[in-house]
Each structure stands twice: as structure tokens, then as C-alpha cells.
């Protein structure tokens, strides 16, 4: 079509070119003016007595128009067509828009795919909390049972120990009583031995005196023999006297007979005394034996010593038993302390639970933001929902411990703020008001 | 035997702290929420000491202390056992009538030292 148009005369083309150059110059100047006045919108507004937004919009419109006009002038000089630049620009933006829409479709699909993942992650974290809590509860139950078993055992040992101590005390008293009885018996035996010794000495004295009777009997025998001899002489002298000495002879015979009887009686008494001494000696032989008495005394002392040894051994056993029970109590106390420490340490689970709950809350915020983004992509003309933008400051308010706040500030690059806060006196973990 | 009312929504804390207190010769009543604790107080439980968490569903620890103070535990010592360490929260608890503040986790012997200070004879 352009080749069929009649070409302009040379002068006309010259004028057209000069005009376009001037328009171009004016546009450049306009653009420069607009650009330079951007920083002075407020002053311009006051000077013109108009609204700031109106002045700003006017300046922006002028800027855009000047750029478009400049582009048209440039297109004319370059390609001889005023609309070539605009066409290129439209084509460029059209291509850009197509790419953008393509990217949006990908983004939409990606957001769509991410939604269940948030649920999955949240579910996993909740499961972790559940498992940890379950495991900790089970652990504490076992600890509790162990402690209960040890306490029961120690109570049982304590109870048995009291019974044993009672028995020991009873046995101790019995042993002491036995020892006392034995000492009494020993004393009685010693007393009896002394009595026996006295008796023995008396018996020996009697026996000695019995032996001394033999001399008296011998004297009787001697007197009897002399009497017999005297009676015999008297009989001889009576026979010499004849009839006158007959009566005297009878008396002499009677005297001889009496002397014989006296001798017989003395012998009989001597025999009886000897027999009596032998009988006494035979009867007291064992009892009067001093060696036997010593042996009995030694045996009694030995039994007393053994009983004393048995008693002291028993007391030692009781003492060792007491030490063992005491050590068991000590072990039990140490075990109780360990259980208390373990129970205290288990509080970490509550701390972790609250941290995980805050992470779950963060995932929920991300999910809501994604949902709002999807909503916006599907309905671009609508205003975006407030959940689209995640308010980290608001999220930070949900923290329940200093550790969370420190982690947050380190992650978002606010270490300096955190360091400033840390310069304040630290609050103690335990405080009484 | 002294009685302690322990309030926390975490079963772990209830078991842990209850175990520590019982092994130190204290009787322990537990409640999982502030509401349950108030019900127990209304029902006749008269603890010698109350230990409560701060962040709980429903009535929080500070509200519980306020309500318990009005509901018959005017002079009972009350301790807050929480993961929170913010000074502003401490001041709130103090104004509400709390006796002391302990940050979790707390060792058993440290807990007992505090209890013996606020509850002589424990």
C-alpha cells in the first residue's frame, strides 16, 4: 500500500522531518521536565493548588505519553512508520503476558500440590509430639514402678530388720540369762566343792582318829594277855595250896576266861573299825578326788566361755545385719534422688511440645497464605485476602519461651536487637516475689 | 501431710512434678485445666500450695490465680511453673497474686527448696 502512495516532494519531506525533530525535542524536554519535577511534587502541588494525587497522576501520564511519542518519532526515523515501535511493544508485552500466564498456571499447580504437604508435615509433627509424650509417659511409669518396687523392698527389709532386732534383743537377753545361770551353777559347784573339801578333811580326821583306836585296842589286848598270864600264875599258886586254894583256882579260871573274852572282843572291835574305815574310804574315794573336781570346774568354765563366744558372735552378726540394712537404705535414698532427677529431666518433653506446636502454627499460616494466593490467582480482580501476607511480628507474639524468640531473631537477621535485649539484666529462672 | 494442687495441661508435667512432690512426702491433687482446678477448690479441696502453668487452654494461669484468690485461697502460696520467662508476664502474675515464678524445666531439688521457703514444714 505504501509503495502505491505518491511520494512527497523533497521540500515537504524536509519540512516534515524538521517538524518531527522539533516534536521529538519538545518531547525529550517534557520528559526531562517531568522526570526532574518528580522530586518536587509537593511544592508543585502547593504552587498549583491541586491535590497531590492529581498532580502525580498528571505527571505520570505526561511521562508515559512522552515516552510513547518519542518512540513513535524514533520509529518514523528508523523504519519510516510511526506505529512500528508501538506494534513491537504490544507484541513484546503480549509475549510477556503469555509467559506470565504460563508461569501462573505452573504456580497455581504448585500451590495446589503444596496444600496436602502442609497437612502431612503438620500431621508428622503432631505424631512426633504424640510419640514423644507416649514414650515419656511410659518411661515415667516404669521409673515410678521401679521406685515403688525398691521402696517396697526397703520397707520389707526395714520390717524384717525390726523383727530381727527384736529377736536379737530377746536372744541377747536369753544368752545373758543363760550365762548368769551358768555362773550361778558354777558358783554353787564351787561352794559344794568347798563343802566337800571340808567334809573330806573331816572324814580324813575321823579315819585318822579311827586308826588311833587301834593303839587302844592293842593296849586292851596287852592288858588282857597280862591278865591271862596273871590268872595262870594264880591257878598254879591255887593248886599248890591244895584244898584251901580250890576257890581261888575257880576265880583264877574265871579271870582267864574273861581275859580271853576281852582279847576276842578287842580283836573284833579292831576288825570292825578296819572294815568301817575301808567302807568310808571306798564311799568317798571319787568324791574326795581333787583332780576330778578340777576337771568338772574346767568343763564348766569351757561351756561358759563357749556361750560367751556364741553371744558375742551373735551380736557381731546383728551389727553386720544393721550395717547392711543401713547401706540398703542409703542405696534406696540415692536411687530415689536419681528417680527425682530423671522425673525432672522429663519436663523437656513439654518444652519440645510447645516448640513443635508453634512450628505447626507456622505451617498453618503458610497454608492459609497459599490458599489466599490460589484464590487470588483464580480471581485476580478480587482484593487479596489478609492471610496472603504472613505477619512475622504477629507470629512472634505466639512464642512462649525466650529460646523461641532468640531463634526467631537469629533467623530473620535481628541478632543486633536480640543482643541489645540481652544486655539488660537477665531474669532469673526461679524468682520469689 | 501438706497438700499441693498442681495445674498443667501437659500430662508429662503433671506426672513429672507429681512424682517429685510425692517422693518428698507431699500429697498431690492434679488438674488439667484452670476450670478443673477451680471446681476442685469449690468442691472442698483446700491445698496448702498451688502450682500452676501459665499458658493453658481456657483459663490461663494468671486468671486462675486471680479467681482462686477470690475463691477461698486468699493466703495460700501460689507458684507459676512455665516455659515463659518474659518480665512483663512475671509482673502480671505478681500483680494477680502469685508468690513466685519458676521456668521449666526445673530440677527437683530446686523445686523443693522453693516449696520449703513458701511452705514451711513441707
Q: Poorest-confidence range of A39-53, A122-136, A181-195, A278-292?
A: A278-292
Q: Does the structure show a pLDDT above 50 at A135?
A: yes
Give the chain A residue whose CA is nearest to the CA of B14: A347
CB A270 within 8 A of CB A216: no
**Could you tell me if B77 and B119 are in contact, meaning their C-beta atoms sit under 8 angstroms apart?**
yes
**Residue B38 to residue B35: CA distance in whole angstroms:** 5
Q: Could you tell me the three cell numbers for A249?
A: 583256882
Is A28 buried (19+), middle (13-18) or exposed (0-12) by CB count in 10 A?
A: middle
Task: Report chain B residues whose CB lies below 8 A from the CB of A139.
Answer: none
Q: Which residues does A376 contact at the CB level (< 8 Å), separation at least 6?
A: A382, A384, A385, A388
Q: Test B16 with A343 for CB contact under 8 angstroms.
A: yes
Contacts B104 to A, Cβ<8 Å = 347, 350-351
Lowest mean pLDDT among A3-12, A255-264, A275-284, B8-17: A3-12
Lookup: cell for B56: 493453658
Instruction: Tell me the average pLDDT of chain A.
Output: 80
- Which chain B residues touch A if contact means CB-CB below 8 Å? 8, 10-13, 15-17, 19-20, 23-24, 54-55, 82-87, 90, 94, 98-111, 114, 117-118
In this structure, are residues A177 and A320 in contact, taking their beta carbons and an 8 Å threshold? no
Nearest-neighbour CA in chain A from B45: distance (Å): 25
Q: Do A347 and B100 touch (CB under 8 A)?
A: no
Q: Residue A15 — pLDDT band, cuts 50, 70, 90?
A: confident
Other C-beta atoms lying within 10 Å of the C-beta of residue A316? 10
Task: List the grid coordinates of A180.
Answer: 548368769
pLDDT at site A254: 86
- pLDDT for position B26: 94
What per-residue confidence (pLDDT) applies to B48? 94
Whole-angstrom Cα distance, residue A340 to residue A346?
A: 10
Question: Is B105 a residue whose pLDDT tops 90?
Answer: no
Per-residue pLDDT at B2? 93
Average pLDDT for B27-53:
94
Instruction: Judge whether residue A3 has pLDDT over 60.
Output: no
If you ran DSSP here, which 8-state letter would residue B59 be given?
Answer: S
Residue A253 has pLDDT above 70, yes or no: yes
Q: A55 near A45, Cβ under 8 Å?
A: yes
Among A89-98, A229-238, B47-56, the range with the most confident prediction by mean pLDDT is B47-56
Interface test with A, best of B49, B81, B106, B108 (most A CBs within 10 A): B108
Number of Cβ atoms within 10 Å of the Cβ of A305: 10
- For chain B, domains (ranges, CATH) are 3-118 (3.40.50.2300)
Residue-wise pLDDT tens digits, A147-183: 888 878 878 877 877 777 777 777 778 777 777 877 7
- Phi (first) and psi of residue A430, to 5 degrees: -125, 125
| Alpha helices (runs of H) in A241-289, residue ranges in sequence order | 246-284
Q: What was the pLDDT predicted at B60?
A: 93
State pLDDT tens for residues A202-252.
888 887 887 778 888 888 888 888 888 888 888 888 888 888 888 888 888
Measured CA to CA, the distance from residue A391 to residue A283 in angstroms comes to 126
Distance (Å, whole) CA A377 – CA A384: 9
Task: For residue A291, name the pLDDT band (cuts at 50, 70, 90).
Answer: low
Average pLDDT (A275-287) is 76
Q: How far apart are CA B47 and CA A232, in angstroms?
A: 136
pLDDT band for position A287 (cuts 50, 70, 90): low
Confidence of residue A293 (pLDDT cuts 50, 70, 90): low
pLDDT in tens, A370-382: 888 888 888 877 8
The alpha carbon of A183 is separated from its chain's Cα centroid by a whole number of angstroms, namely 54
Q: Search chain A and give the residue with CA nearest B10.
A: A350
pLDDT at B78 over 50: yes
The whole-angstrom separation of Cα A293 and Cα A235 is 63
Amino acid at each position: 500500500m505504501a509503495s502505491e502512495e505518491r511520494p512527497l516532494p523533497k521540500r515537504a519531506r524536509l519540512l516534515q522531518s524538521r517538524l518531527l525533530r522539533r516534536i521529538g525535542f519538545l518531547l525529550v524536554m517534557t520528559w526531562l521536565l517531568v522526570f526532574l519535577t518528580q522530586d518536587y511534587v509537593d511544592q508543585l502541588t502547593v504552587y498549583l493548588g491541586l491535590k497531590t494525587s492529581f498532580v502525580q497522576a498528571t505527571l505520570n501520564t505526561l511521562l508515559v505519553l512522552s515516552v510513547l511519542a518519542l518512540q513513535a518519532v524514533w520509529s518514523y526515523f528508523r523504519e519510516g512508520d510511526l506505529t512500528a515501535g508501538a506494534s513491537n511493544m504490544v507484541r513484546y508485552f503480549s509475549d510477556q503476558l503469555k509467559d506470565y500466564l504460563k508461569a501462573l498456571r505452573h504456580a497455581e499447580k504448585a500451590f495446589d500440590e503444596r496444600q496436602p504437604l502442609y497437612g502431612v508435615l503438620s500431621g508428622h509433627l503432631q505424631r512426633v509430639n504424640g510419640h514423644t509424650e507416649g514414650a515419656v509417659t511410659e518411661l515415667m511409669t516404669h521409673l515410678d514402678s521401679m521406685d515403688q518396687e525398691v521402696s517396697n523392698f526397703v520397707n520389707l527389709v526395714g520390717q524384717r530388720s525390726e523383727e530381727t532386732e527384736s529377736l536379737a534383743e530377746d536372744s541377747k537377753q536369753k544368752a545373758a540369762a543363760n550365762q548368769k545361770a551358768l555362773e550361778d551353777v558354777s558358783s554353787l559347784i564351787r561352794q559344794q566343792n568347798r563343802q566337800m573339801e571340808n567334809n573330806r578333811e573331816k572324814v580324813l580326821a575321823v579315819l585318822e582318829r579311827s586308826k588311833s583306836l587301834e593303839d587302844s585296842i592293842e593296849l586292851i589286848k596287852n592288858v588282857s594277855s597280862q591278865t591271862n598270864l596273871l590268872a595262870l600264875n594264880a591257878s598254879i599258886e591255887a593248886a599248890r595250896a591244895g584244898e584251901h586254894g580250890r576257890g581261888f583256882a575257880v576265880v583264877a579260871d574265871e579271870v582267864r576266861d574273861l581275859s580271853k573274852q576281852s582279847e576276842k572282843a578287842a580283836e573284833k572291835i579292831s576288825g570292825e573299825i578296819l572294815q568301817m574305815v575301808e567302807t568310808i574310804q571306798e564311799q568317798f574315794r571319787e568324791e574326795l578326788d581333787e583332780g576330778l573336781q578340777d576337771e568338772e570346774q574346767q568343763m564348766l568354765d569351757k561351756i561358759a566361755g563357749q556361750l560367751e563366744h556364741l553371744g558375742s558372735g551373735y551380736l557381731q552378726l546383728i551389727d553386720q545385719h544393721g550395717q547392711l540394712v543401713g547401706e540398703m537404705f542409703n542405696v534406696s535414698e540415692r536411687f530415689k534422688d536419681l528417680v527425682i532427677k530423671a522425673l525432672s529431666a522429663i519436663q523437656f518433653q513439654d518444652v519440645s511440645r510447645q516448640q513443635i506446636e508453634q512450628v505447626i502454627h507456622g505451617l498453618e499460616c503458610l497454608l492459609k497464605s497459599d490458599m489466599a494466593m490460589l484464590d487470588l490467582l483464580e480471581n485476580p480482580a478480587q482484593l487479596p485476602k489478609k492471610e496472603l501476607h504472613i505477619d512475622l511480628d504477629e507470629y512472634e507474639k505466639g512464642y512462649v519461651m525466650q529460646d523461641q524468640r532468640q531463634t526467631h531473631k537469629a533467623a530473620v537477621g535481628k541478632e543486633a536487637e536480640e543482643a541489645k535485649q540481652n544486655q539488660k539484666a537477665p531474669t532469673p529462672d526461679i524468682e520469689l516475689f | 501431710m501438706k497438700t499441693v494442687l498442681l495445674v498443667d495441661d501437659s500430662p508429662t508435667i503433671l506426672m513429672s512434678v507429681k512424682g517429685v512432690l510425692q517422693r518428698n512426702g507431699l500429697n498431690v491433687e492434679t488438674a488439667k485445666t484452670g476450670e478443673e482446678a477451680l471446681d476442685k477448690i469449690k468442691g472442698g479441696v483446700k491445698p496448702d500450695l498451688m502450682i500452676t502453668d501459665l499458658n493453658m487452654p481456657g483459663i490461663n494461669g494468671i486468671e486462675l490465680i486471680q479467681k482462686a484468690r477470690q475463691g477461698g485461697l486468699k493466703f495460700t502460696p501460689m507458684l507459676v511453673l512455665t516455659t515463659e520467662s518474659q518480665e512483663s508476664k512475671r509482673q502480671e502474675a505478681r500483680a494477680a497474686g502469685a508468690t513466685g515464678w519458676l521456668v521449666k524445666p526445673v530440677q527437683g531439688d530446686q523445686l523443693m527448696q522453693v516449696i520449703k521457703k513458701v511452705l514451711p514444714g513441707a
